[in-house]
């Protein structure tokens, strides 16, 4: 499996953020960090979803 560089991960994340923000949503720096943790394999997608759901439920 090909290793993805940090630069490539940041580019993918920035493209995704730009796409979401064009739809009118705002992505916080904390949310971007969590996404990067998923891309780095430090956090699973399920863990990310759980964190985001908890955040929404607490607001």
pLDDT of the residue at 59: 78
The mean pLDDT values, 10 residues at a time, for the chain of 59 residues are 89 96 96 96 97 93
Reference 13, options 42, 44, 37, 48; nearest CA is 37
CA dihedral 20, 22, 28, 31 (to 10 degrees): 10
27 exposure class (CB count in 10 Å sphere: 0-12, 13-18, 19+): middle
* Separation CA 22–CA 1 (nearest Å): 32
Q: pTM (2 decimals)?
A: 0.83
């Amino acid at each position: 499996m090909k290793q993805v560089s940090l630069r490539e991960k940041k580019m993918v994340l920035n493209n995704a953020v730009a796409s979401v923000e064009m739809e009118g949503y705002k992505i916080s720096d904390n949310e971007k960090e969590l996404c990067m943790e998923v891309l780095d394999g430090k956090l699973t997608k399920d863990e990310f979803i759980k964190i985001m759901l908890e955040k929404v439920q607490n607001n």
